Chain A
């Protein structure tokens, strides 16, 4: 286990299509976070899980966004009916506990045409 992994690394889609991203955290980490980063901005929090429970969602997470972590291991982030404004880098991070360092994955870059 060399760290947090994300798949795919790049995704190009047409407006209106659905996309799903996957994040595999560091194996013993209970907490998993999703962030979004647009050009010229720092990462912005979307949601986080403790094990399989989704504990907080940002107001940035519209109804078109849904995230799951079904077995407390990997997580998926789905965006339905994509819009051009969804184009961004989607980052996943994990940590062992609430006070521990968050380790980031390489991100999935989404481009909506």
Chain B
């Protein structure tokens, strides 16, 4: 069965500091990985997906199949990045398996 692990419940950084939100997955097939974000009082929305290899709002994530990881990174955090971040895996059966999420708090 597929599983997504986000080891940190909360990550607190200062503005301008680098950010890395960790995500590890367990899946026997070829996964498709996503990062979703939920800002305060807003709905869950897609931040990025690994197949598009885009950089959204300065965030990037690289799929490492050897380490089964898909960590989210940003070189310089901004206060508006404060939000709940969820890593998710699409297993090919049309469903998403989410991690428990990491709250990112960026202080001025």
Q: Which residues of A contact B (CB under 8 A)?
A: 3-4, 31, 33, 35, 40-45, 48, 50, 55-56, 58, 91, 98-99, 101-107
CA distance A107 to B94 in the complex (A): 20
Q: Which residue of A lies closest to B93 (CB)?
A: A56
Residues B38-89 near A (CB distance < 8 A): 43-46, 49, 86, 88
From A4, A44, A58, A98, B98 is in contact (CB under 8 Å) with A44
Q: How many residues of B contact A (CB 8 A)?
A: 20
Interface centre among B9, B86, B94, B97 (most CB of A within 10 A): B94
Assess whether B44 is in contact with A56, with CB atoms less than 8 Å apart.
no
From B4, B46, B94, B97, A98 is in contact (CB under 8 Å) with B94
From A40, A50, A102, A107, B96 is in contact (CB under 8 Å) with A102
